[in-house]
Structure 1
Amino acid sequence: MSDWYTGEIPIFSGNYAPVGWEFCDGRSMQITTFEILYALIGVTYGGDGVTTFKLPNLNQTLSIGQGVGLTNRTMCKRLGEADSVRLSRV
């Protein structure tokens, strides 16, 4: 797919952010530079709401979706613990 939605969080395995993308690392962004994104997420993830807002921080986490028939989840709530599960080959 060549068209992305503003605010979409795709899975990407590179060690760089492609042109026009940002890392979901909790960084603070200028509202005047990213007005459309700010209009979508506001200060959901932090920021002062006057000059800055923050991106979600997905470091050592995984995003989960909401939907009909799924467990109710609170937006932005962290679940689980980093490094608490060991995956192994059977």
Structure 2
Amino acid sequence: MFGRYKKRSHISDAKIREILKCFCLDLTATNTSKMTNVSRVTINRYFDRFRKIILLSDEKFFASAGEFELDESYFGAKRVRGKRGRGAVGKTPVFGVL
């Protein structure tokens, strides 16, 4: 049965499920294309679709939960003069959700 997941697709459903398994294992598009013998561009297209589906399902969940506030900060020692470009070395990142 072809086209269960996408109409006019030349990729079998089993191949799409294999691509989805690679996506879940967090493999790169290049490695997935080598394993499945599907073009890397096609793999990127499917990976993008998977991400959009995840985003839509998350939006439905968070829309029913109310408002959220996200914040990030770095805590640690003050900057040492003369150490330009060292960024957040030695600091602890903190991410909060309210």
**TM-score, length-normalised on structure 2?**
0.25
More helix by share: 2
More strand by share: 2
Structure number with greater Rg is 2
Structure scoring higher RCO (CA < 8 A, sep ≥ 6) equals 1
